Structure 1
Amino acid sequence: MQSEQRDDVAERVRKVITDAGVTQREFARRIVMDPSKLSRSLGGTRRFTAAELARIAATGGVDAGWLLGTAPTAAPARRPRTAGPAGTAGASLEGGRPLQIIRETVRLIAEHGFHAVRVQDIAAACDTSTAAIHYHFPGRGDLLEAAVRWCMDEDTARRAARVADAADAADELRQLIELQIPRTPQQRWQWSVWLDLWAEAARSTAVGRLHADYYRQWRTTVADVIRRGIAEGVFRLADPAAAALRLTALIDGLATQVLAAAPDSPGAGPDDMHEALTAYVDATLTAH
């Protein structure tokens, strides 16, 4: 009987995803859920948690009781007010309340650091109650893990958009490097979040695994670009994996120095970081 109920819930979730008109992976991003967990839950090898079903209902605009089979119809759920990127109440935000909570959590982490951010602060930023925050994310650990996953997905999407029109592998690598340089307030904000989450990853097994997975993907992306560049003749022969490890480590170290330095510190600005990375790539990779 429990297996049949689980299948029924999975079938209703599939309908919500279909009605949303997006891919399963995109829906997972909107409800801030690991895509592999969503896949296993839909396949019947994993049970949806109450918080996940709440986010699915809120994002899909259906009644949570209907998802569980305790309500007869998929009546639209009463949607709370959402906020825009700057926290302006009343503005529509794609993805609904869960994604708004995550975006505001990430913004507050960037401004104050994770351990200084309280659930009350997040609730105030979202113009809602702490009970509503806990409804979607029962604990601070759930919030942090979701925030890390959202940052990872956003960073991956930005990289894909940036290199879409690259002329060759060398141009693609230059585009990837430029994207990592904290020039704009937005880029500095993103790096501030990453640095704080890195520190938390060292203390949290769950976040540490996410961090390791993300960096494995990031280094693989860089290694693939280098491998293509070697085949195209724009890069010299090298071990792509080792070269990617060294380059990504250099990017991290230089970005940290840029963020930590005063704005007018000589030799520690975004242009200095760009010059150092360009020189490194020319000295170690560029075919002459």
Structure 2
Amino acid sequence: MQQPEAPPPVREPPPDSAAAVAARVREVVAAAGVSQREFARRVVMDPSKLSRSLGGTRRFTAAELARIADTAGADVGWLLGTRTPQTAPVRRGGRAATAPEGGRPRQIVRETVRLIAERGFHAVRVADIAEACATSTAAVHYHFPGRDDLLEAAVRWCMDEDTARRAARADDPDPAAELHRLIELQVPYTEQQRRQWLVWVDLWAEAARSTAVGRLHVDYYRQWRDTVADVLRRGVDQGVFRPGTDPQAAALSLTALIDGLAGQVLAAAPDGDGTSARAMHNALLAHVAATLTP
């Protein structure tokens, strides 16, 4: 199958254009009509890096500008200041209907995550990702120059998906019910949940070897444990959970148990020999009953 032509290479902007580039990106963000954090999620970028770049204390990389242009439907040459577009530099409403859902960068990351779940990170080639996206390897490198960039983007995508699922079912007035829902979301009942766990297990090993991914891993788990600890703290205050419970220590124990049991479920044989998702769920509920119930 003939691959589509790759986009033209993006040149790094000259040193004296950083402020002008940041101003044009701010215009793109405003035209998107979403928060700065949401825009960072869409372009698979660390929100703090986006904030620093917009504030002038950090320069955008060429790949970041390529992702911003692709996702927002902007003219990358206009963003870089290399040319003045003949039409509006930013299309309201984003990309054309023929573009991949969420833009090419998000498609690349989605397919990367799927392939990591199926084969493991080190078995996935850029050529495999390009084939899955019906594009060229040059187009993948255009948005994500190296494998480390793809790995970081895959970790960030998984974090965002997991956080969004939790947020959609949070803020129950009953802390016990909310904790049970958080636990249920972590049990790999569905194929999607199992795929997400397979990716996490693969990325844990990478986090131990990669400083950048390791920092993401630490930040994510801090947020996850804080979420659980907040629910436990409300439960203790309301008398739903055992008085004197240390929310942070209890959250650490519970999240560690979730991780260990999930690993056993993933390692179980297809014929049912081993820990099942239901057994994991029951064990977690039993742990809550034994350690937290008054």
Question: Considering the TM-score relative to the shorter chain, is it more than 0.5?
Answer: yes
**Backbone CA RMSD of aligned residues:** 1.9
| 1:71 lines up with 2:83 in the alignment | yes
Deviation at 1:202, TM superposition (A): 1.2
- SS at structure 2 position matched to 1:26: helix
Residue of structure 2 equivalent to 1:87: none
Give the equivalent residue in structure 1 for 2:278: 271
Equivalent-residue separation in structure 2 for 1:181 and 1:259 (angstroms):
11
Paired residues of 2:73 and 2:96 also in contact (CA < 8 A) = no
Q: How far apart are the structure 2 equivalents of 1:61 and 1:210?
A: 28
Alignment of 1:165-244 (within 5 A): 166-237=172-243, 238-244=245-251
Is residue 30–residue 59 contact of structure 1 (8 Å, CA) maintained in 2? yes
SS for the counterpart of 2:209 is coil
Whether 1:93 and 2:136 are equivalent positions in the alignment is: no
Identity, % of aligned pairs? Answer: 72
CA distance in 2 between counterparts of 1:163 and 1:24 reads 23
Contact kept? 2:126, 2:140, Cα under 8 Å: yes
Please say which of residues 239-248 and 67-76 is displaced more in the overlay.
67-76
In structure 1, distance between residues paired with 2:289 and 2:56: 51
Partner of 2:8: none
- Number of aligned residues: 276
Please give the secondary structure, in 2, of the residue aligned with 1:202.
helix
Partner AA of 1:198 in structure 2 = W
TM-score (norm 1): 0.91
Contact 2:116 2:124 in 1 (8 A): yes
Deviation at 1:263, TM superposition (A): 3.7
Residue of structure 2 in register with 1:85 after alignment:
none
Q: Look up the match of 2:6.
A: none
**Displacement of 1:22 after TM fit?**
1.1
Pairing of 1:1-288 with structure 2 (within 5 A)? 5-73=17-85, 74-75=88-89, 92-94=100-102, 96-164=103-171, 166-237=172-243, 238-265=245-272, 268-287=275-294
| 8 Å CA contact 2:28, 2:90 repeated in 1 | no
2-structure distance, mates of 1:25, 1:76: 19
Structure of greater relative contact order (alpha carbons < 8 Å, 6+ residues apart)? 2
Deviation at 1:208, TM superposition (A): 0.9
Paired residues of 1:29 and 1:35 also in contact (CA < 8 A) = yes
User: Is there any run of 5+ residues in structure 2 with no aligned partner, and where?
Assistant: 1-13
